[in-house]
Amino acid sequence: MVEVTVTPQSSLADRPVQIRVRGLSPSQLVTLRAWLKDEQGECFQSRAFFRADGAGEVDPGLHAALGGSYSGVWPMGLLWFLQPDTLFRRLVKRDVAGSPFRVRLEVLDGLSLGTDPREQPLASCEAERWYVGPGVQRVPIREGRVRGALFLPP
């Protein structure tokens, strides 16, 4: 049975995570796809093509992507290379303290170039990427023409 995992499943957006796929056939070609919907409902996605090792595993931190949104060894490449489905959109998190980005990670059989996020994956999981740690207080700043936010640790 194919399984994809993200460790840790919930983390701050600037912290590294480990993505692993297990249960593949040795040397099987697969596509790893990451996608999310932003707060306006726009879809952003990335994909990378991998060949499983002799144990039937894929680890983007050890194995080079053969193509897709990037190539080479990039442990966080699936998260760093997210691109919008709609041109000229930017991935921006407006509600940094209230909710995370929920990134869906999927493993697709073979080389999948489709952009439909409803393709049937072999396995999938979800990762939460938070922009503010637990207990951090956000204080809005308005002084003259200066606008900003002060983030105070717990």
Q: Render pLDDT for 25-52 as a digit per residue (tens, 0 to 9).
A: 999 999 999 999 999 999 999 999 999 9
Q: Where in the chain are the domains?
A: 3-152
- Averaged pLDDT for residues 70-91: 95
Upper half-sphere CA count for residue 74 (Cβ side, 13 Å): 19
Band of residue 132 on the pLDDT scale cut at 50, 70, 90? very high
**Which one is the CATH code of 3-152: 2.40.160.20, 1.10.150.110, 2.60.40.2240, 3.90.1570.10?**
2.60.40.2240
pLDDT at 117: 58
| The pLDDT of residue 118 is above 90 | no
Tell me the whole-structure pTM to 2 decimals.
Answer: 0.87
The burial class, CB within 10 Å (0-12 / 13-18 / 19+), for 59 is: middle
